[in-house]
């Protein structure tokens, strides 16, 4: 791993093998990666620590099956703000709505594009009417309901 002038990281072959193994199974034993690469477990452990220090690896999150937890409706909402200067305040208010799991400041039609998980369409309607659409500065919203998630993956290093 080498840090370039633009604060990007150049990964070598071992780093890529480590990252791919961790992306496939974040609980993979270090010894298994070491055996695959042909180096010691200590060397792999040190590499992982360097990748964490360089912020290539963030805090590990265990992916949840939201449907098993009762969240059967996934929606994407495009948000139109009265003024783009209201972005930070709107995001602060959106942080208080637990069903919003992603928010992006975007170019194009919407100032903000969010992803919401809800139990069903009635729950979605409640979140929209009683939460999102009551936030000061939000002019209007456009909602798209996802029927199926066909691809879910991380980019390969």
147, two tokens: 């029927």
What SS3 class is residue 12? coil
Kindly report, residue by residue over 109-126, the tens digit of the pLDDT.
999 999 999 999 999 999
Residue range 119-145: average pLDDT?
A: 97
Measured in degrees and rounded to the nearest 5, phi and psi for residue 55 equal 65, 20
Convert 103-113 to b/e letters by CB count within 10 Å (16 or more is b).
beeeeeebbbb
C-alpha pair distances (Å), 131 with each of 43, 95, 97, 138: 49, 11, 7, 11
User: What integer pLDDT is reported at residue 7 of this predicted model?
Assistant: 65
Model pTM above 0.75: yes
User: What integer pLDDT is reported at residue 144 of this predicted model?
Assistant: 98
Query: Right CATH number for 2-53 from 1.10.3720.10, 1.10.10.10, 2.130.10.10, 3.40.50.261?
Result: 1.10.10.10
Q: Does domain 73-146 have CATH number 3.30.70.920?
A: yes
């Amino acid at each position: 791993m080498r840090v370039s002038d633009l604060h990007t990281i150049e990964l070598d072959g071992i780093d890529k093998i480590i990252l791919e193994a961790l992306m496939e199974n974040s609980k993979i034993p270090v010894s298994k990666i070491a055996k695959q690469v042909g180096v010691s477990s200590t060397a792999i452990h040190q590499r992982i620590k360097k990748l964490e220090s360089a912020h290539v690896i963030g805090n590990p999150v265990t992916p949840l099956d939201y449907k098993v937890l009762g969240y059967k409706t996934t929606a994407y909402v495009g948000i139109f703000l009265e003024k783009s200067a209201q972005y930070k305040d709107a995001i602060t208010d959106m942080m208080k709505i637990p069903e919003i799991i992603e928010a992006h400041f975007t170019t194009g039609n919407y100032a903000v594009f969010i992803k919401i998980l809800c139990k069903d369409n009635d729950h979605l309607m409640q979140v929209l009417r009683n939460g999102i659409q009551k936030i000061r500065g939000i002019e209007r919203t456009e909602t798209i309901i996802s029927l199926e998630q066909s691809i879910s993956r991380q980019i390969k290093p």
